[in-house]
Chain A
Amino acid sequence: MAVDARVVGIAGTAKNTGKTTALNAILAAAHPRGVAVAVTSIGYDGEAVDNVTGLPKPRVVLPGGALATTARSCVPPAGWEVLEATGSWTALGEVLLVRCLEPGAIVLAGPNRRSELARVVERVQALGPSLVLVDGALNRLAPMSVASAFILATGAARTADIPALVREAAAMESFFRLPARLPGRAGAPTVVHTPFPSVDELVEASACAEDAPVEFSFLLPVHPDVLVRVTHDRRLRSHVAAVTFYDPVLPLLCGDAVAMAAALQRCRERGVEVGVERPVTLAAVTASPFLPRPQGQRYVADTVPAGALLAAFRSALRSPVVDVVAEGSEALWEAVAAAAAPGSTS
């Protein structure tokens, strides 16, 4: 199945949730299909051993011809061609665009902020790959709003409490399933310019709407509590008709995903429309049973029962849920291809 040059981000809910495994699986599936790939990162992914747990981590392995970004000091001595400097700087120095000449492992490094990632992705796309993968770092998400499709990597490393893990994943999924809506359809849009505004600040900002129904348009993070409280604040001259987030990443960032999902549900119950300006597809969720368990001063690699984990996820989520290690890369590839295909909707 042909895939156009869409940008797919792989985001994790914590360290060791399987981002690199998912990335390697997609790469392994892309190569025999002749899909040209480029891989970048929003941080750094290359240590062989986790610097907190001391446990080994998988390396990113790229096929010949693939493009990647890395830091100058991380370019392998052989097998890679440096194409250009991106002008994007990180704690490791300047990010370079490189091409893989022979299949091999590489340490990924990439721009650490949204504006720079957008610029680098644009540059990479111009070089012709069919698929651009953005590797996440830790549980960071913000720059990845440049992606048009997401893979959410979660697992027992986030929490060994499986019901809580599933609840959180379901809440996160719900943000990707928010309907697309443009601010201004239901009322006068009130754009909020302060991060984490207080209820008072929102009420004050909404005064410009006068007697018209209020539409809050969030480009910056907002606290779930504040959302709930503002929708029934008596100082509002009219009611809150809608709440729009710029994209699904924003509610993901705002704090506790479960609390935010509950807050949005309360808003909907009060008749408030909730949507996102720029929808992003959740292509798949990967669930990793890997669990680093502290033992004295060290950590040992452990797992939760993989079958039970997968079943719990599949019963709660509507998106494809994949255990890459147990099921192979094909299932993940199918999900990504479906999500990245032109005209696909979530």
Chain B
Amino acid sequence: MRTERSGPALSRVLDAVDVETYLVCSSAQEGRELARLLGRELNLGDVDVMFEEFDGYGVRVRLRAMVHRPAARYAWLGEVEKEGRG
């Protein structure tokens, strides 16, 4: 599975990176779009907006970027690539 997220530190993220923040916006819709865009601007690729609540002035959001999903190749595991020959 192609992943947009890689790097010396990102490869050590066990599973996910969460971003908690508050975005100023004028509608819940705009907030959602901004939240996704923020994920891209932070170079986290496609993020899942786990939580968002629009209060009239902006949105409180929690974003999640999955780095290592279950069944993916875990960069932090240090798996041995080649099998030894007997």
Contact = CB atoms under 8 A, between A and B. Distances in A.
Interface of A: 46-49, 51, 54, 73, 296-298
A46 B29 CA distance: 10
A296 B48 CA distance: 13
15 contacts: A46-B29, A47-B29, A47-B33, A48-B33, A49-B32, A49-B33, A49-B36, A51-B32, A54-B36, A54-B46, A73-B26, A73-B27, A296-B69, A297-B48, A298-B46
A343 B27 CA distance: 46
Contacts of A296: 69
Contacts of B36: 49, 54
Contacts of B29: 46-47
A73 B56 CA distance: 12
A296 B32 CA distance: 21
Contacts of B26: 73
Contacts of B33: 47-49
Interface of B: 26-27, 29, 32-33, 36, 46, 48, 69
A108 to B, nearest CB: 14
Main SS at interface, chain B = mixed
B58 to A, nearest CB: 15
Nearest to A297: B48
A296 B1 CA distance: 11
Contacts of B69: 296
Nearest to A48: B33
A54 B49 CA distance: 10
In order of increasing CB-CB distance, the 3 nearest A-B pairs are A48-B33, A73-B27, A49-B36
Nearest to B71: A296
Nearest to A51: B32
Nearest to B37: A48
Nearest to A77: B26
A209 B46 CA distance: 64
Contacts of B46: 54, 298
A300 to B, nearest CB: 10
A298 B47 CA distance: 11
Nearest to B66: A297
Contacts of A297: 48
A296 to B, nearest CB: 8
A238 B63 CA distance: 68
A297 B36 CA distance: 16
Given A49-B32, A54-B36, A296-B69, 8 more contacts: A46-B29, A47-B29, A49-B33, A49-B36, A54-B46, A73-B27, A297-B48, A298-B46
A51 B48 CA distance: 12
Contacts of A73: 26-27
A51 B33 CA distance: 10
A226 B3 CA distance: 53
A260 B47 CA distance: 43
Contacts of A49: 32-33, 36
Contacts of B48: 297
Contacts of A51: 32
A91 to B, nearest CB: 12
A93 B36 CA distance: 25
A51 B36 CA distance: 12
